[in-house]
Structure 1
Amino acid sequence: MNSPPGLHVEQPHGDDALGDWRHVHNAVIPVQPLSLAEVRERAERNHLDLARAGGVLVGSTTVRPPKDGVATVIARVLPAHRRRGYGTELYAHALHQARALGATAIETCVLASNEDGPRYARVHGFTEIDRYVLPGSTIP
């Protein structure tokens, strides 16, 4: 896979790395902040990865294993690092992982208030089929 120069993707191990994954999640999804304990639990049931460019944290991925053939793939890029190709590379990386797990179909989740997210999903062939509001939030 061709990555933007210096992009390094790896699975987080240990609380410091899981804390970095948490940082990306909470920065991109501020309406659903996660605790470190919640991230640890997610790491047990999903495949999580971190992305760094030149040693700087730029994003993360989540791949939820297939259920009835459908895997959920999520790529997140910190706002300061968007529009440099990282999202495309992270999405391709996560898509490859989902297919290796046996996925025959792919879905994603996007925070509607993040204008870059829905636009990115549409460009990559996703069709919106549902909107929901997270518990305690008013933002779809």
Structure 2
Amino acid sequence: MSELRIAPVDGDAMMNDWRHVHNTIIPTAPLSPDDVRERVGRYRLDVAYLDDAAVGCATVRPPTDEEPAVTVIARILPAYRRRGFGRTLYEHGLALARELAADAPVETVVLASNEDGLRFALARGFVEIDRYVLPGDTIPFVTLRLG
């Protein structure tokens, strides 16, 4: 049986894998290659692979002066959900977040239409603290904080 392998984004092929997962799960806010390249410079981006297939992606955003929370986002493509991959990817991201800012609050962001993602976050103790809609969108993003 194959094991999930999680690796930091390194190079264009991995950026494309990360982008594919992101844009599949967040179709309302697709990112360009340049958007992802810019994020690689600011955040920790990882890709989860099963054999050679990208099945998920993660983002860990460090806290800033404006935003004191560390943000952990784990996304798994629908065809690969309910196999423990989301838990593994989330725990990986949470460990990285604790290395960056051990005492910072932990938040996540989920597109409101992603019912699986919301259930996943709520089951891990996150509580909703905010909703916002990007300009031109109609589906809100939900910000949740680990309780």
Range of TM-score over shorter length: over 0.9
CA distance in 2, matches of 1:31, 1:111: 9
Would you say 1:121 and 2:121 are equivalent positions?
Answer: yes
* Structure 1 residue matching 2:132: 3-state secondary structure: coil
In structure 2, the partner of 1:38 is 35
**1:71 aligned partner:** 70
**TM-score, structure 1 normalization:** 0.93
Aligned residue for 2:110, secondary structure, equals coil
Judge conservation of contact 1:66–1:98 (CA < 8 Å) in 2: no
Superposition TM-score, scaled by structure 2 size: 0.89
Q: Is the 8 A contact 1:51 1:60 kept in 2?
A: yes
Instruction: Give the aligned length.
Output: 137
Partner of residue 132, structure 1 = 132
The equivalent of 1:48 in structure 2 is 45
Residue 10 in 1 paired to residue 18 in 2? no
- Measure, in 1, the Cα distance between the counterparts of 2:82 and 2:135: 31
Q: Does 76-85 or 60-69 show the bigger shift? A: 60-69
Unpaired segments ≥5 residues, structure 1: none
Higher strand share: 2
**Post-superposition shift, 1:67?**
2.8
Distance 1:134 1:82 in 2: 27
Q: Is 1:60 matched up with 2:53?
A: no
Structure 2 match to 1:112:
112
1:105-134 C-alpha deviation (Å, 9 max, x unpaired): 100000010110111110010000111111
Task: Using the TM superposition, give the Cα deviation of residue 5 of structure 1 relative to its aligned residue in structure 2, in angstroms.
Answer: 4.5
Q: 2:7 matched to 1:28? A: no
Partner of 1:90: 89
Return 5+ residue gaps in structure 2 as ranges.
Answer: 141-147
